[in-house]
Structure 1
Amino acid sequence: MAVPDEPETDPITDYLLNTFRNIARGRRFISSMAGAFPLPLAAREISDWLEAHPPAMSRREIDEVVYTLDALCLEADEESKS
């Protein structure tokens, strides 16, 4: 199966995806005897990133996108374990 080309994006989408990727690098995990499990991103992780890298848009918009992408990623991770 051929890998499809990535869809074209605009600068705002690029900014939001890049912001999510960098915030997610600071994700916390909980460890137990069963393994390590990712925790949802918290407002603190978003704030830490945005303090170091001033946002190009409103915090409300960034939060909405980051939390939505995070939920999708955690859901996909959970499905891959099933």
Structure 2
Amino acid sequence: MAVPDEPPTDTITSYLLSTFSNVCRGRRFISTMAGAFPLPLSAREISDWLDAHPSPLPRRHVDEVVFALDAICLAEEEG
């Protein structure tokens, strides 16, 4: 199956997706004998990113979107 082109995004959506991607780089994992498993992102990972790259959006909006995207990604990982 061919990979479809990405749909066009507005500036805010692009910013939030990029922020989520970069915050995920600081994700913590738990390691067991069965392997390594991703932990949900915390406010600390978001804060670490935003301290270095201040957001033009209110923090509550950034948190809401990052946590929602993280929940979707973790749910897909489990299923």
Q: Normalising by the residue count of structure 1, what TM-score does the alignment of the two structures yield?
A: 0.94
Structure 1 segments, 4+ long, off by >3 Å, are: none
**3-state SS of paired residue (1:54):** coil
**3-state SS of paired residue (2:46):** helix
Letter matched to residue 24 of structure 1: C
Matched, 1:13 2:13: yes
CA-to-aligned-CA distance 1:49-70 (integer Å, 9 cap, x gap): 0000010100000000000000
Letter matched to residue 57 of structure 2: M
Separation in structure 2 between the aligned mates of residue 70 and residue 27 of structure 1, nearest angstrom: 10
Q: Percent identity?
A: 71
Letter matched to residue 36 of structure 2: A
- Superposed CA RMSD in Å reads 0.6
**3-state SS of paired residue (1:48):** helix
| Unmatched tracts of structure 2, length 5 or more | none
Separation in structure 2 between the aligned mates of residue 75 and residue 46 of structure 1, nearest angstrom: 20
Counterpart residue number, 1:74: 74
| Unmatched tracts of structure 1, length 5 or more | none
